[in-house]
A and B are shown apart, each in its own frame.
Chain A
Amino acid sequence: GDSVTQMEGPVTLSEEAFLTINCTYTATGYPSLFWYVQYPGEGLQLLLKATKADDKGSNKGFEATYRKETTSFHLEKGSVQVSDSAVYFCALTKPASSGNTPLVFGKGTRLSVIA
Chain B
Amino acid sequence: DVKVTQSSRYLVKRTGEKVFLECVQDMDHENMFWYRQDPGLGLRLIYFSYDVKMKEKGDIPEGYSVSREKKERFSLILESASTNQTSMYLCASSFRHHTGELFFGEGSRLTVL
Give A contacts to B, CB under 8 Å: 32, 34, 36, 41-46, 49, 89, 91-96, 100-103, 105-108
Contacts and interface: CB of A to CB of B under 8 A. Distances in A.
Given A44-B90, A102-B45, A105-B43, A96 B98 contact: yes
Q: Which of A42, A46, A91, A103 has the most CB of B within 10 A?
A: A103
Nearest to B105: A43
Contacts of A96: 97-98
Contact of A32 (B4, B58, B99): B99
A106 B102 contact: no
**B interface residue count range (under 10 / 10 to 19 / 20 to 34 / 35 or more):** 20 to 34
B101 A46 contact: yes
Given A89-B43, A107-B41, A49 B4 contact: no
Contacts of A93: 98-100
Contact of B100 (A41, A42, A43, A49): A49
Contacts of B40: 107
A44 B102 contact: yes
A32 B100 contact: yes
B104 interface: yes
A9 to B, nearest CB: 10
Contact of B98 (A89, A100, A105, A108): A100
